[in-house]
């Protein structure tokens, strides 16, 4: 079957039916279970501090949370995120 004969939704079906990755998703990472020296990304920081990813990225850029951007993605160590949380003294509801 050539590309022209396949209706659009069948052609896109290959993306839908791909097997999910076996890697552990960092989106659902259990922040508390991580080691203090573990690297966490903007989305994890935002989820833990209950702020938007935009706000988390701004905090990281300004240096409020010690972080780095090695390969295009902002990341910080868990201990630095916890230190920032303690400095603002906003209790996190559990």
Per-domain boundaries in the chain: 33-94
Q: Evaluate if pTM is beyond 0.85.
A: no
State whether the Cα torsion 53-55-58-63 is positive or negative: negative
How far is the C-alpha of 44 from the C-alpha of 68, rounded, in Å? 15
Q: Which two tokens mark 6? A: 């396949």
pLDDT in tens, 2-39: 555 655 555 555 555 555 544 445 555 688 888 888 89
pLDDT in tens, 45-66: 999 999 999 999 999 999 999 9
The reported pLDDT for the residue numbered 35 is: 87
Q: What is the dotted CATH code of the domain comprising 33-94?
A: 1.10.1660
How far is the C-alpha of 68 from the C-alpha of 85, rounded, in Å? 18
For helices 53-62 and 42-49, the axis angle rounded to 10 degrees is 110
User: In which band, very low, low, confident or very high, does the pLDDT at 84 lie, cut at 50, 70 and 90?
Assistant: very high
């Amino acid at each position: 079957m050539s590309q022209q004969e396949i209706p659009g939704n069948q052609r896109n079906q290959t993306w839908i039916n791909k097997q999910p990755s076996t890697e552990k998703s960092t989106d659902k990472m259990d922040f508390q279970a991580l080691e203090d020296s573990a690297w966490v990304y903007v989305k994890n920081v935002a989820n833990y501090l209950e702020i938007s990813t935009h706000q988390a990225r701004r905090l990281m850029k300004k240096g409020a949370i010690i972080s780095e951007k090695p390969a295009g993605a902002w990341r910080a160590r868990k201990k630095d995120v916890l230190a920032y949380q303690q400095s603002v003294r906003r209790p996190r509801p559990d």
